[in-house]
Chain A
Amino acid sequence: MTTTRKQTSARVLELPDEKGLVEAYRHNLFLKVVFIISCFAVLMLVIGYSLAVGQGITVSESYEIMMKHLAGEIYPLRSEMWWKDYFIWNNVMPRVVVGIIGGCGLAACGAVMQSIMSNPLADPYTTGISSGACFGAVASLIAGVSFASLGSGYTTVTNAFIGALVPTMIVILISRRINATPATLILIGVAISYFFNAAVTLMMVTATAEDLQAAYLWQVGTLTGMTWSSVPLMLVITAAGSAVAMLFSKNMNLLTMGENSAKSMGLDVEQFRMLCLIMVAVMTAAIVSFTGILGFVGLISPHITRLVIGSDNRVVIPASMIVGALMLVSCDLISRLVSNITDIPVGVVLSLLCSPIFLLMVTGLKRGRGVY
């Protein structure tokens, strides 16, 4: 029995030999870093290919054009290189950058939510963030309602951002009044989701066909039409949130043994969980308000990561971020490759490709080779 376990587990490493535990531990850590670096290298290749597609240039040429642009090189107006530079910098690069930021942010949020809820099914939207964001966006797209006046061009974005924060605030307010376990938090989130989803449906049934399409596409999530103006807010919030998530990773490890153990090791669990919920809400809101609801990245990236390098949050969070970025940029690339006739939103590609992966993982669990 023991032999079978050893053979089937990808995460069982050699037992500490006479060199001692310190060396075995460092070796284990080194392997995890190698995984992160490998994913990063693949991500860089995918980014290069993504920039080169449709331009008749190679990956290295696409990088060269980017480097030269960043170095300030200016080409003769409307020359071939000018067009290439223009296309890459203004059309492709923003969606790739948003893809990287979105993938990183949603994956980090997914890993954090799964840890603080001690639930493998948790994702950034568990507390109802997606339904609140949808409500905000659809209110703008269909009913023309604006929650804040930041200029007509940003109504959908600001509505979605504010809408995304509302469910988490409700969850936090309710949980402060009762002794809320993670299961209670999830159930409150589910109830809020149903409420907002009903409101969204109510608006949609009254909409014109054109508004309905816009509202529906927003809910699927897309990187099409991203511009550099989408980047700053997302970047700043995602970078700050991810840094905090990495600082919190040690505390998330304490929660792996259960709430009582974590408390006895010095963690104020309730306060920590609330801080994480606020952080996840702001990060997710900043991303989905621009991209729409991108599903699966936040759920699956941490699982794929844990499958390979185990559940230590100190490495799961950064590694999930790179896996999430890789997943989103790759799916966006695929959607661009197959979108010659009609535009396929990246959210659709994500779900089409990631659902079978998720299924494989779940059935892998049945064979004793799954993540958990």
Chain B
Amino acid sequence: MEMKAVDLGFRYYDNVILSDVNVDLEGNKMVSIIGPNGVGKTTLIHCFSKILKPTDGRVYVNGKDIEDYKLKELAKIIAYVPCTSLDTFPLTVTDTVLLGRNPHSKWGSLNRDLEKVQETLRLLGIEDLAMRPFNELSAGQRQKVVLARGLVQESQILLLDEPTANLDIKHQMGVTRLLRDYSHKQGIMVIMISHDLNIAAKYSDEVIMLYGGNIFAKGSPKDTINPENIEAVYGVRSKTVINNGRPHVILEDDDDPKTNICAGA
């Protein structure tokens, strides 16, 4: 599987969100997109999943222009898991996860689809929630349900917008580890937006660091997540410790007015 962006740009009227983004990803690996708020991370994966149409450049999936794919055809190749979901008319957890089977569902496939749903709920440790309405779940439980929905879609590329934002540290590690293993074993590409640099560093095969609507750095976690890049992109001083070949970020609070977002308040 291959995901390629060539000179990708996106703007809302005059407000440029992304410009000249070039990405070439292939193979079964775990990729993290990191960067500060409002830098265009979500816009980028929306362009990758045809939710948004880029205003400049092209996106290619498996060598074919994404615009040439029908949405249902694309849904068999790319699954997208948002960071929030509506709960106006909540379905049960099972029905919610079952929605992910939509691109594959055929007449009479319900039993097989339900077995896949059960298998995925078990994998994420939420089998006991199967018949609960979605709106009665905690934020973390909801996040796992939406993730399950993305997994049952059995796509070649899985795009995730902050999949661990509402999870405690144990479940953040568990879910990200699961995603990495799933990627390597099932042979799929996982592209994940993350705000947790240590989680991204610990589990990613590749990191894309966005800044100012452009790619600031990309490569292995060791090459991208370092004190210089973190200070340039986030405006935060830190030091990194290399553990098992991967960086671990330790933030430094030095009362620097530049890093104090409440300065002058």
Where the two chains meet, the residues of A that have a C-beta atom closer than 8 Å to any C-beta of B are 5, 9, 11-16, 20-22, 24-25, 28, 114-115, 118-120, 250, 253-254, 256-258, 260-261, 263-268, 306, 310-312, 372
Contacts and interface: CB of A to CB of B under 8 A. Distances in A.
B117 A258 contact: no
Contacts of A114: 89
B96 A257 contact: yes
Contact of A22 (B78, B114, B131): B114
Contacts of B136: 5, 9, 12
Nearest to B85: A257
B223 to A, nearest CB: 31
Contacts of A28: 92, 131
B188 to A, nearest CB: 15
Q: Is the interface of A mostly helix, strand, loop or mixed?
A: loop
Contacts of B74: 266
Which among B79, B86, B89, B149 has the highest number of chain A CB atoms within 10 Å? B89
B91 A253 contact: yes
A257 B146 contact: yes
Given A260-B51, A260-B82, A372-B135, A265 B91 contact: no
A263 B50 contact: yes
Interface of B: 46, 49-51, 71-75, 78-80, 82, 84-92, 94-96, 99-100, 102-103, 111, 114-115, 117-118, 121, 127-128, 130-133, 135-136, 146, 149, 153, 159
Closest 8 CB pairs of A and B: A266-B72, A264-B80, A266-B75, A311-B89, A21-B118, A258-B86, A13-B131, A265-B102
Contacts of B87: 372
Contact of B131 (A15, A20, A311): A15
Given A250-B102, A254-B99, A265-B102, A311 B90 contact: yes
Contacts of B78: 264
Nearest to B52: A260
Contacts of B92: 11, 28, 310, 312
Given A12-B133, A261-B99, A268-B71, 20 more contacts: A5-B136, A11-B92, A12-B136, A21-B127, A24-B131, A28-B131, A118-B86, A253-B99, A256-B99, A257-B99, A258-B85, A258-B86, A260-B51, A263-B49, A263-B50, A264-B51, A264-B80, A265-B103, A311-B90, A372-B89
A120 to B, nearest CB: 6
